[in-house]
Amino acid sequence: MEIQKEQVGEVCVVTVNGHLDGTHSTAFCNQVGELITGTNPKILVDFTGIDFITSAGLRALLLLVKKADASGSVFALCGVSDQVRQVLDTVGFTAMFSIHSGRGEGLAALTA
């Protein structure tokens, strides 16, 4: 799994590629979790390159959204594939996240 971080204005965009599974979920959670510090950060996770998510990946997302909510941060997803979206829908996570179709839409929503 590859995780890249870049600052776009006031939003930190995290681009993830590969499988979000038991092997990679801890590293993902730790790296993104480090960003949820400071004064009200805005984090957009680009899931365009994620084609597979397991329960460990779902747990990592749950921990991150809870941490963001507790700290007053903004945490959103974009570029979620139909397959991953179906998993999020099935487990009831869709309502917990702000999910945008693409990076541009996500950035616009987080900077509005």
Structural domains for the chain: 2-103 (3.30.750.24)
pTM (two decimals): 0.93
Instruction: Take residue 71 and report the two structure tokens written for it.
Output: 């700290």
What span, in angstroms and rounded, lies between the C-alpha atoms of 3 and 1? 7
Give the list of residues 6+ apart from residue 57 with CB closer than 8 angstroms, or none: 19, 20, 21, 24, 25, 28
Q: What is the DSSP letter of 95?
A: G
Q: pLDDT tier at 1 (50, 70, 90 boundaries)? A: confident
User: What is the per-residue pLDDT across 66-81, written as a single tens digit (0 to 9) for each?
Assistant: 999 999 899 999 999 9
Q: Which residue has the tokens 């995290």?
A: 14
Write the pLDDT tens digit of every residue in 95-111: 999 999 999 999 999 99
3-42 pLDDT per residue, tens: 999 999 999 999 999 999 999 999 999 999 999 876 669 9
